[in-house]
Amino acid sequence: MKSWSDIGFEIEITGDQSPSLRLLQAVDPLKDRGESMHHSGGACAETLLIYGEPIRKILENIERPHFLIVGLGLGYIELVIAREALLQGKSAGQVGLITSYESVPELREFFFKWLHEDVAGLSEEVSQVYDLVLAHVSKGTNLLPQDLKTFLRTHFKSLNDIRQELSSSVSLESKYHGILYDAFSSKTSPFLWEEEFLAKLLREGAEEHCLVSTYACKGSLKRALKSEGFEVVVREGFQGKRNSTLGVKKLP
């Protein structure tokens, strides 16, 4: 069975003791390791700061909201959606749609197998990392960790429910009330941060009432948001990291 190093990643335990993934191979030949998926100060804490509050607001204000996630990674954002919905007493059916895109096939497969408790199909090392992610996301609540997995199984019934790489020719399944943009940086994934692509994604994917949240604060992103009718709110970044961005479009 494959483990993290077999698919080009290593595990990092961040400052809040939650795990993140780092690419083994760097885009920059002068660096010995690739980009990490999260701030070293805390993968779970960063996710809750950047994405937790917008998710909470959408769930409070929109009936049966649809969420689009760009960058499944270890599944932090998906689990936070489940966490925030359950904390508000909502069932899985009261969230209309969760659409996640991930370009690494094994990350899609690993997360799906873990979610559906296909223990025989995963290495122990991989399962333990997802268990640790789940423990951190549910920490500080009265929720049972298993309830978050059960919630998400309703939305990811088959592996194909976790979409593959996002491309310029993609035909989105729906319009979305929450767009949670957690792709690797423009150095690693330049196409996903091009202004023309971002504007197209927002034009085709944003509902009339919509929040867009991301850890990034790029000029191309802010211009694309403004061109598609969003108010751009520059937020404080995580633990001294550069600013993050929130796009607001007519949220009730």
Q: Is residue 129 scored above 80 in pLDDT?
A: yes
**Could you give the percent of the chain with pLDDT greater than 90?**
80
Global confidence as pTM: 0.95
Domains detected in the chain: 42-249 (3.40.50.150)
- Which long-range CB contacts under 8 A does 6-14 form with residues at least 24 apart? 6/106, 7/104, 7/106, 7/107, 8/104, 11/129, 12/36, 12/40, 14/38, 14/39, 14/40, 14/41, 14/42, 14/43, 14/44
Q: Region 197-223: what's the mean pLDDT?
A: 95
Q: How far apart are CA 67 and CA 75, in angstroms?
A: 14
**Could you give the percent of the chain with pLDDT greater than 70?**
96
pLDDT tens track for 50-75: 999 999 999 999 999 999 999 999 99
Residue 187's pLDDT is what? Answer: 80
Burial of 214 (0-12, 13-18, 19+ CB in 10 A): buried
